[in-house]
Structure 1
Amino acid sequence: MTQAKAHTDVPINIYKPKNPFTGKCMSSKELVQEGGEGTVRHLTFDLSGGDLRYLEGQSIGIIPPGTDANGKPHKLRLYSIASTRHGDNLDDQTVSLCVRQLEYKHPETGETVYGVCSSFLCNIKEGDDVTITGPVGKEMLLPDDEDATIIMMATGTGIAPFRAFIWRMFKEREQNPDYQFKGLAWLFFGCAYTPNILYKEELEELQRQFPDNFRVTYAVSREQKNKDGGKMYIQHRIQENADELWQLNQKSNTHTYICGLKGMEGGIDEGMSAASGKFGVDWSEFQKQLKKEHRWHVETY
């Protein structure tokens, strides 16, 4: 099944690094609940006065202010867009991101190092300027099929494009008479603790409203155990639901999307391999076919 019809008009690089757009921060909201790990912000930027358009599944670049250790301007960092093409305010004038503050120990000094761009974004205040480029990306776009099955697998802030998908499918129904999703959307989300489930209340509210069309399956590694008594990761949830996922993937309009840390891909392949093995099919061969049909979409970092 080709997607040419759906993806003919994809905006790309309306704003380039040499000629970026200056937006303003409209809001910054903490997404990690009390007792969770780290900080993750839902940020909304004002795009009015510019021409930035985007589709669900694309990314924008952010150029943090200041200079690097060599005195050169910082390079841009890419972030998946967490809002639909109409923006959180449905006025086509905003874009939202879901950003975790990067924090790690320096391997030699043992000092805590904070990510340059993620720290800038997580500490930004309402009214502050933000330098934006893009949009970029064609890998994670939704098919133009209201009856499709959309399987989404995310860890942490990898949920960003899927929030955009889910909001477009279910939250904007009244505003989108031209797009009324009637298929199945199934989100698998992995994190360490329950307070780290991003957008939890909103996701569960949509699940209550659309029980036949939307499912959420969590893998909370520090709280849940897999069948062997170890930590529950996303691949264990894939294995638990292997038979159904396998059957869904036999349909020509089922698309699988993976977004999050690179390390999650191996586990997902392991889970799907267990499923396909039950039916005597080699997973890597089947996956190649899915990729060829543009039905297996991966964006990991």
Structure 2
Amino acid sequence: MNNSTPDNALSNTCPAVVIDSRRISPADTDEVRAIGLRIADPAFRFQEGQTIGVLVPGPHAFGTKPHHRYYSIANARDKQASDEIEIQIIVRRCFYIDEVSGEQFPGIASNYLCDAKPGNPITLTGPYKSAFNMPKERDSNLLMIGSGTGIAPFRAFIQRIYSTHQGWDGKVRLFFGDMNGLDLLYMNDVDSDLANYYVNETFEAYQSISTKYGVNADEALELTLEEHATEAWDMLQDPKTHVFLAGTRKANDALDKILAQLAGSTETWDAMKQKMKDDNRWSELLYI
């Protein structure tokens, strides 16, 4: 997603409280946490696929103004309406290396959130309009492609269609790449929610885990796509297929490269992709 902040983005704020913070990645890998937030504002309502903003108060390493960062909501709406809304976000603790000095700096928002304890107040903005629109037709095919914490909106979608809608008639396919692996994030003994949906005949997830030092989430996603390109390509031939892409622009480039090869040329794939966009069957949430 684009993390630049519009001028009016900070005017729509609401208070939240941390209710839960759990590490969902193994201790010997990058720290990824599922952070639960409770919002008491009765005006706050969200839909699957939307994002919220987190305001980090100054002063911090880069100034005194609040730092603003967007995160996708990772859970579906509660079936029961309530004055208190609970959402979950997935946060990877990030560090950045200065290219000149080589000095390491902690990511402002990710470290602020990963360090937060239950009971800590958090100021939110949003929610913001979703880049993803779930089709109303239950026989639509859903092709979801994501890397790293880009899985967040897809987790919400999958919860929604199988828990709230009690199933989905079309194919639901999740293509995922990460340094930790989908099974380590959401198919372990504690966080087995995605594994639960394998009982549904329409749902399958494909993943590649980065096992080599220096191979990042985008490269792991590229491996997933290469290994299962035929499945994705076959779905793209069906006019009932909707594509949802979440991750970095590198992930988008990798997808374009693989599908252009299957299409026979870049021009053919570009035309096919544009047709899906024109039909509102292609949506993406990309960040640098």
2:196 aligns with one of 186, 201, 206: 206
Report the 3-state secondary structure (helix = DSSP H, G, I; strand = E; otherwise coil) of the residue aligned with 1:289. helix
Matches within 5 A, 1:98-137: 98-137=90-129
Distance 2:33 2:65 in 1: 24
* 8 A Cα contact 2:50 2:129, kept in partner: yes
Supply the distance in 2 between the matched residues of 1:55 and 1:161 (Cα, whole angstroms): 10
User: Hey, which of these two has a bigger chunk of helix by percent?
Assistant: 2
Would the aligned equivalents of 2:37 and 2:87 in 1 still touch at CA under 8 Å?
Answer: yes
Q: What's the counterpart of residue 228 of structure 1?
A: none
CA distance in 1, matches of 2:181, 2:223: 17
Separation in 2 of the partners of 1:77 and 1:146? Answer: 34
Contact 2:67 2:108 survives alignment (8 Å):
no
Question: C-alpha separation between the residues in 2 aligned to 1:165 and 1:269?
Answer: 24
Aligned-residue offset at 1:207: 4.2
Letter in 1 for 2:271: E
Equivalence for 2:66:
74
Which runs of no fewer than 5 residues in structure 2 stay unpaired? 1-5
- Residue identity in the other structure for 1:285: A
User: 1:196 offset after TM fit, Å?
Assistant: 7.8
The code of the aligned residue for 1:219 comes to S
CA gap 1:195/1:137 in 2 versus in 1, 3 angstroms: closer
Deviations 1:45-103 (A, max 9, x none): 1112431111111100110122355754223211111011228x985621110011111
For residue 168 of structure 2, what is the amino acid of its counterpart? F
For the Cα contact (< 8 Å) 2:151–2:246, is it kept in 1? yes
Query: Which of 4, 7, 13 matches 1:20?
Result: 13
TM-score by length of 2: 0.85
Distance 1:218 1:206, change over 3 A: same
Q: Which whole-Å CA distance do the structure 1 matches of 2:104 and 2:42 have between them?
A: 38
Offset of residue 113 of structure 1: 0.7
Question: Which residue is equivalent to 1:168?
Answer: 160
Q: 1:216 to 1:203 in 2, by over 3 A?
A: farther
Correspondence for 1:60:
52
Counterpart CA distance in 2 for 1:148 and 1:197 is 29
1:286 to 257, 272, 279: 272
Structure 1 segments unaligned to the other structure (5+ residues): 1-12, 225-230
Contact 2:181/2:207 (8 A) holds in 1 = no
User: Is the Cα contact below 8 Å between 1:235 and 1:270 reproduced in 2?
Assistant: no
CA distance in 1, matches of 2:57, 2:150: 25
Q: How many residues align?
A: 273
**CA 221–276 in structure 1, closer or farther in 2 if over 3 Å, else same:** same
- CA RMSD of the aligned region, Å? 2.8
In structure 2, the residue matched to 1:244 is 231
Structure 1 pair 151–95 and aligned structure 2 pair: CA distance change class (3 A): same
**Contact persistence 2:25–2:180 (CA under 8 A):** no
Alignment of 1:93 with 2:82, yes or no, is no
Question: What residue identity is the alignment partner of 2:145?
Answer: M
For residue 209 of structure 2, what is the amino acid of its counterpart?
V
* 1:295 matches 2:285: no
Verify the 8 A CA contact 1:235 1:268 in the aligned structure 2. yes
Work out whether residues 84 and 165 of structure 1, in 8 Å CA contact, stay in contact via their aligned partners in 2: yes
Matching residue of 2:3: none
Q: Does 1:220 align with 2:229?
A: no
Report if aligned partners of 2:47, 2:77 keep a CA contact under 8 Å in 1: yes
* Superposition deviation, residue 17 in structure 1: 1.6
In the alignment, the residues of structure 2 paired with residue 49 and residue 131 of structure 1 have an alpha-carbon distance, to the nearest angstrom, of 12
Letter in structure 2 aligned against 1:34: A
Deviation at 1:250, TM superposition (A): 2.2
Instruction: State the Cα distance separating 1:130 from its structure 2 match.
Output: 0.5
Judge conservation of contact 1:20–1:133 (CA < 8 Å) in 2.
yes
The residue that corresponds to 1:234 in the other structure is 221
Q: TM-score normalized by structure 1?
A: 0.81
